[in-house]
Each structure stands twice: as structure tokens, then as C-alpha cells.
Structure 1
Amino acid sequence: MSDDTILSKDHWLSIGEIANRSGVAASALRFYEDQGLIASRRTSGNQRQYQRSTLRRIAFVQAAQRVGLALAEIKSALDSLPDDRTPTRADWSKLSKTWRSRLDERISELERLRDDLDGCIGCGCLSLQRCNLYNKADRLSERGPGARILNVGIPGEL
């Protein structure tokens, strides 16, 4: 018999079992729980127990993080799943289709980075007129000398 045949949907797993089966550290599982991404119940000895279906949620979180989604976006997506039953393949499929445009954006960004990176590798200051990554048309020169991106912070805040 397989594990799925033996274990009912109401079967609860310890944090160690979930960590072992998911490949995610127990500390990360506690963090995911603090963020509202997964839920547990407590035993009389105050130990965490998770439903076996939590393994799917953990896999979803890991996949979403690889795509580049922020934890708030992941939580919002998970919140759209049904609470009264284990999500079905159709539920997961519907949810993952919303990633398609996000993936297309990431692919485009990575292709631009790949294509433009060789012109920027040696400059260091990121304020040359020819920098197509962060400083098109040398607009950062208006903010003064030096590595303006390093002084300002995230490139999206330009």
C-alpha cells in the first residue's frame, strides 16, 4: 500500500515529518506559519502538527518563490484556495495560470539583462551615457556625481 492509501486526509504530521518530506527546514516552516502561508494545530504537549495536504502548500510556496513572487503575493494566492477541502488539481492549475504573465515578464527582464550586461560590466558607476540597464540617457548625472544607484538604493526607485 502507498502512503496515500494508508493516510487519510485527516492524518496529521509532526513538524519534523513535514520538514523531512518537504525538504524545508523546520525554522522555515515556522516562518511560513507566522506569515500565514500554512497552518498547524497544537498537541496537548504544544507541538505543531500539520495536515498532510500542507505538503502541497509548501511546494506551491517554493515554486512561487522561484518565480519571484513576494510572500504577500503568495499568501494572497493561497488565501484564494478553499478552506473546507484539500485543493484539487484544478484549483492549483487555475492558481498557477495567473503566473504566466509574471513568468513572461521575468523572462523578458532576464533576456534584457543578458543582452545588455556586457556593456555595463566594467563601468562600476552606472552613470555612463551608454548604460542601458539602469541609466538610459545618463539621467542619473542630474542627481550629482558618483554611483547614484548605490546612494539611492533600488533601481526601481530612480
Structure 2
Amino acid sequence: MGELLDIAQVAERTGLAASALRFYEKRGLIDSAGRNGLRRTYRPEVLDRLTFIRCARDAGFTIAEIARFIQADPGDQELRAHLAARARRLEEDIARLTGMRDGLRHATTCTHEPLVECPDFKKTFR
């Protein structure tokens, strides 16, 4: 099972505030294993769950959406449709950000004046 981590250890390892951990627990996103004195304790697996939550938040999911996803069963077709739509939006975001990255990389060596009028630079944003 592994040694239990107290809330301060989880906060330190994840970079999250203890208040965020308590909030996630209240919302059903994570579970504590109990208490050691006044401090909540967690199983080490909570670190993986928190990594998932952070990634989902970065991808634009709300806390409610994450909670639903965590509790979903494979037969939830409405959730699957929602996830597929979100995946399409992420693909669009990735394409847009890739264009921005490529344009910025080009700009580091481009000699066109003005830089923003460079045809190669401009085409990275289409």
C-alpha cells in the first residue's frame, strides 16, 4: 500500500495549496485516507490523481466536469460525446499554438523588415 502522506507532503510534492487539496476532497475528486492528529493523510496514489486533475484543469475542464469524468462508467454516452468534442477543441488549440511556436522560431532568425510582414512568418498563423 505504501506509506501515507500528510497534507503538507502532498501540497509540497504537487505545488498545490493545502486549501486546494481540501477543496478537491470536498468536491469528491480525491479521497483522504484518514487523519494523523489534525492533518489529513493520503495514499501515494493521490499524486497521480492530482496530476490528472491539473492536466484536465489546464485543458479547460471545470471541477464539475472532472468530477463527472472521475465517477463515469464506460456506458455514459453523453460524457463520451462531451469528451470527444473537448478533444476536437484541444486539437484546434494545439494546431494554433504549434503555428505560434513555429512563427516565433522563424522570427528568431528572420531578417525581413518589418518582421511581422515576413511572408514565412505570416503563413505560420494561417
Normalising by structure 2, what TM-score? 0.58
Q: Which has the higher helix share?
A: 2
Alignment-mate amino acid for residue 43 of structure 2: Q
**How many residues in Structure 1 have an aligned counterpart in Structure 2?**
88
- SS of 1:27's partner is helix
Query: Structure 1's 107 and 16: CA in aligned 2 closer, same or farther, altered over 3 A?
Result: same
Q: Does 1:16 align with 2:14?
A: no
**Residue 30 in 1 paired to residue 2 in 2?**
no
- Report whether the alignment pairs 1:104 with 2:96: no
Aligned counterparts of 2:25 and 2:64: Cα–Cα separation in 1? 13
Q: Identity over aligned residues, as a percent? A: 35
> Which residue number corresponds to residue 73 of structure 1?
65
Higher RCO structure (Cα 8 Å, ≥6 apart): 2
Structure 2, unmatched stretches of 5+, are: 74-81, 97-126
**CA shift in 2, pair 1:100/1:41, >3 Å:** same
Look at both structures and tell me which one has the larger radius of gyration over its CA atoms.
Answer: 1
Please, what TM-score do these two structures have when normalized by structure 1?
Answer: 0.48
| CA spacing shift, 1:73–1:51, aligned 2, 3 Å | same
Check conservation: 1:67, 1:103, Cα contact below 8 A: no
Residue 104 of structure 1 deviates from its aligned partner by 2.1
RMSD of equivalent CA atoms? 2.7
Decide which of 42, 45, 50 is 2:42's aligned counterpart.
50
Pairwise CA distance, 1:42: 2.8
Q: Tell me how far apart the structure 1 counterparts of residues 11 and 36 of structure 2 sit (CA, whole Å).
A: 21
Q: Distance in 2 between matches of 1:58 and 1:48?
A: 15
